[in-house]
Structures are given as structure tokens and as C-alpha cells.
Structure 1
Amino acid sequence: MGKLVYGSGNRSFDIEDRALAHLRVVFMNKLRRGEPFMFHHAEPHVSCSIWIHPAVPIVFQFHGSRPPSMNREWIEVLMQEASSANGLRMLPEPAPGTVTADALG
């Protein structure tokens, strides 16, 4: 289980390493393009939304020693979600080959 730390360490989220690795790619690409976005995270009994902006420090802490393999389709779905009016919500990983170009808009 990894951890996403946002801001000066006062807000953190426990996120499974594989999902966190995919989120890191999405955050990096959105912020590199100068596109801040809303991130929604839900845990048992707690739900919160935070504005992801390049001026706020972000730390991705991974528990595992090996980097997870990446699913490009999942990254594309998450990128589309982050660009939506509702912001980024953690979506389940699609099976390889199940996301079509039409589904991505």
C-alpha cells in the first residue's frame, strides 16, 4: 500500500501501489501541461476532493520494491477522467484491449 502526500504533509491518502503508479503518470502529465484539476478520493467513512495544482508539493510513496507494470489504457481512461468537468476519480483498471478509441472520445 502506497501513500499520496499532498501539501506540506498535512493530507495523505493510502492508495494501492499499482493504482498510485498510474495516478502518478496522470498527475505528472496534467501538471506538465499546466492543467490543474480536481482529484476525488474515497476511503471507508471518508471522502474528500482536493485541487491539484503545480504550486503544491506532491509526494508519491511506494511500499513495494519493484515498480508495477503500467496499463496504457488505464492511464488514458484516467487522463480523460481528470480532464472531465467532474475531475479525477479512481476508476477500476480496465482489462487490456477492452478500451476502444471511441470510448476515449
Structure 2
Amino acid sequence: MGRLIYGASQEYEFDDRTLSHVKIAIVTKLRRHESFLLNWQIPPEQGGGRMSLWISREVSMAFVFSGSRPPKLNDRWMEALLHSSQRTGGMFIMREEEAESGNFADR
């Protein structure tokens, strides 16, 4: 499992493959000077619910991966993450299967 470290001490776990795609999407947005909400579902085994973070250039972030090799990126998944970020509700972290099927549009 990889970790997104947000600010001074908040840490959130994601599998390395998901975190790799989220990292590229976040960096793409921040390079354009675009701030946005980052949203995801908290799995039931971690208590359930939802999480939203305000992502901007003013907040420090680190991406820590457990694996030593970056995965091959899925362009459709990247496009789906970036597309979701254009809505008022912000970017929604979705599973790769959701991005492939287009079932993320209703979030």
C-alpha cells in the first residue's frame, strides 16, 4: 500500500497503482495552477464514509509507494480522473474498472 501524505502529518493509504494515477492527475492540475477537491470513499473495513481534501499549491504533499517500480499507466483512467475534476464537486478517486466502463459520470 502506498500513502498520500497531506500537509504536515495526515496520511491516507491507497494501493500503489491507484496512487500512481492520482499522483499524475494531481500534478497535472497543480501545474496548471488549478486548485480542486479530491474525493474518495472510505472502505467499510476502515469505518466507511467519504473523504474530501482541498488540493492546492499551498499545501505540501508527498506520495510514498511500497513498490520499487512504477506501474504502467492507463490513459483512460487518467482521463477519467481529470474529467471528474472539472465538476464543482471535484476529482473523485475511482477504481480502474469504473473509469474503463464510464460508470463514474454519476458521482
TM-score range, shorter chain: 0.7 to 0.9
Q: Distance in 1 between matches of 2:83 and 2:20?
A: 17
TM-score, length-scaled by structure 2? 0.83
Stretches of structure 2 lacking an aligned partner (at least 5 in a row): none
State the match for 2:63 in structure 1. Answer: 60
Aligned match of 2:74? 71
- CA–CA separation in structure 1 for the residues paired with 2:66 and 2:30: 24
| TM-score normalized by the length of structure 1 | 0.84
The structure with the greater share of residues assigned to helix is 2
Distance 1:96 1:88, change over 3 A: closer
How big is the alpha-carbon RMSD for the aligned residues of Structure 1 and Structure 2? 2.1
State, as a whole percentage, how many aligned pairs show the same letter: 34
Instruction: Report the alpha carbon displacement of residue 71 of structure 1 after superposing the two structures with TM.
Output: 0.3
Distance 1:96 1:7, change over 3 A: closer
* Structure 2 letter corresponding to 1:47: R
CA pair 12-57 structure 1, distance change in 2 beyond 3 A: same
Contact kept in structure 2, 1:71 and 1:96, CA below 8 Å: no
Change (3 A) 1:96 1:8: closer
Query: How far apart, in 2, do the equivalents of 1:16 and 1:93 lie?
Result: 12
Equivalent residue number for residue 7 of structure 1: 7
Equivalent residues in 2 for 1:1-105, closer than 5 Å: 1-9=1-9, 11-43=10-42, 44=44, 45=47, 46-94=49-97
Residues 57-102 of structure 1 show CA distances to partners (whole Å, capped at 9, x for unaligned) of 0100000111111001100000001121111111121489766xxx
Structure 1 unaligned blocks of 5 or more: none
